[in-house]
Amino acid sequence: MVVEMHAGLASDGGSKLKMLLTFVDALPNGSEEGIYYSIDLGGTNFRVLRVQVGAGSVIINQKVEQQPIPEELTKGTTEGLFNFVALALKKFLEGEDDQDGKMALGFTFSFPVRQISVSSGSLIRWTKGFSIGDTVGRDVAQCLNEALANCGLNVRVTALVNDTVGTLALGHYYDEDTVAAVIIGSGTNACYIERTDAIIKCQGLLTNSGGMVVNMEWGNFWSSHLPRTPYDILLDDETHNRNDQGFEKMISGMYLGEIARLVFHRMAQESDVFGDAADSLSNPFILSTPFLAAIREDDSPDLSEVRRILQEHLKIPDAPLKTRRLVVKVCDIVTRRAARLAAAGIVGILKKLGRDGSSAASSGRGRGQPRRTVVAIEGGLYQGYPVFREYLDEALVEILGEEVARNVTLRVTEDGSGVGAALLAAVHSSNRQQQGVPI
């Protein structure tokens, strides 16, 4: 992973890791004060947030409204979508008493974007069912700014970010030793703080500070060293993005249940362990990851929850206890591999930063004083699946060694895509830039 990170920093297209520049060269540090807003647009729902912060890393209060995006707007026009979002913000702001000056807005836009500056970026392609053709290639922040102006709002996008960068910002707000953020949910991604002089592909353009947040897009990581099984190949063949997102397909919540289902289907074809259930096991994605987690975490003596899931969701009646134990074992193996690969990815980032204990740089501020390192983590797979979390944490210690691992903290950081984006708006608004909070 470290080799691929270097390659991605050296040139665009030089690596499976895109290593996208975010132009975020300052992060919140707890001194922010005031009221800031954010819009979180990442799928079929979007949210508007108002976040009031006080000095000392205190979030005084926050107000959140969520609403669905009508399906016709996801396939309509650029103006239609952004006018809808702008009108929702206008309605949200009615009755607010802090509209005297120009308001800073963080915009979390969780679609592939080529960032041009901290507050602008062009859409590379739509995902998640959106297909508004005339938006591709356009600056999405400018599209929103125009819609806001048309609504008569004195608001502009101050920071355009994705959810990973927002998570890093929120983690750094609470703890300045936070150097990276990882999302492990239905999908997976990571970002971290890189030295600007290490970003070879963009020499000369970087100013303001000695560091910049880099969005790795690590779901697309691939290496000949990854132990790919026949089930991974089958999974890849049945997905719409074949040969892409290889790392994500091994470790994220969208796919783990399906990997287990492919194993069960093969077992049903080659043995009588599931009776004549091969047909019912042939339906792709019939076993979701929450069911995989429920199977693995069933600690009842007769595995009654496993029996229920096999009957109701996989249409396998009367599986004997021996078979149910086998099902648990498969779910355990799939979970454990995913968690260990995710841990290895995190160590890859730490290694790139010289914080994995393998170099002199790890000694940090003073001789013999190991450097404290925090990684912000968000996502339902890590937060909601204790066994996955346990395996990941265990692998981290195994790879780093106990002494180094003691100085590495994985901190669950919730709602980076909302609160984190508002905090980045605070940092990158014009008055904050004059103070300068370099990372």
| Residues designated as active site | 47, 110, 163
8 Å CB contact between 206 and 2: no
Which one, of 159, 146, 154, lies nearest residue 82 by Cα? 146
8 Å CB contact between 208 and 16: no
Which one, of 119, 205, 200, lies nearest residue 158 by Cα? 119
Which one, of 82, 252, 4, 42, lies nearest residue 166 by Cα? 42
Structure tokens at 304: 């009654």
Structure tokens at 363: 């000694």
Amino acid (one-letter) located at 389: R
The pairing of strands 113-117 and 34-41 is: unpaired
Contacts 24+ apart (CB under 8 A), 327-330: 327/264, 327/295, 328/295, 328/296, 328/298, 328/303, 330/260, 330/263, 330/264
8 Å CB contact between 155 and 184: no
Q: What is the DSSP string of 234-289?
A: HHHHHSTTTTS-HHHHHHSTTTHHHHHHHHHHHHHHHSSTTTT-TTGGGSTT-S-H
Q: HSE on the CB side for 304, CA within 13 Å? A: 2
Q: Give the C-alpha distances (Å, rounded to integers) separating 349 from 3, 116, 336.
A: 11, 24, 20
Which one, of 200, 247, 202, lies nearest residue 228 by Cα? 247
8 Å CB contact between 274 and 267: yes
8 Å CB contact between 212 and 206: yes
